[in-house]
Amino acid sequence: MRNLKIIVEKHEDGYIAYPIGLKGVVIGEGDTYEEALSDVKSAIVFHIESFGSDVFENEEILETFVAEVAV
């Protein structure tokens, strides 16, 4: 069992959640924060079952930051 960092975004029509530190695209969604986390957890389990432990990045992510820049 591994702990993964999950990014959760709140949008006008609900929540989107995705892990960092996995190869490939894994996304969960829901009307609430909790639903999005539950959905992404289910998607992560399916992703690992489908592709094996090779989906994990080699290096552990120690911290995650959200930054904003003007472009």
Q: Which distant-in-sequence residues (6+ apart) come within 8 Å of 52 by Cβ?
A: none
How do residues 3-52 score in pLDDT, each as one tens digit?
Answer: 889 999 999 999 999 999 899 999 999 999 999 999 999 999 999 999 99
Structure tokens at 47: 């992703």
pLDDT reading at 1 higher than 80: no
Average pLDDT of 53-64? 85
Q: CB–CB of 7/17 below 8 Å?
A: yes
Answer with the residue of higher pLDDT: 68 or 14: 14
| Helix, strand, coil % in the chain, rounded to nearest 5 | 30, 25, 40
Instruction: Break the chain into its structural domains and give their ranges.
Output: 5-55
What integer pLDDT is reported at residue 61 of this predicted model? 82
Query: Model's pTM, two decimal places?
Result: 0.85
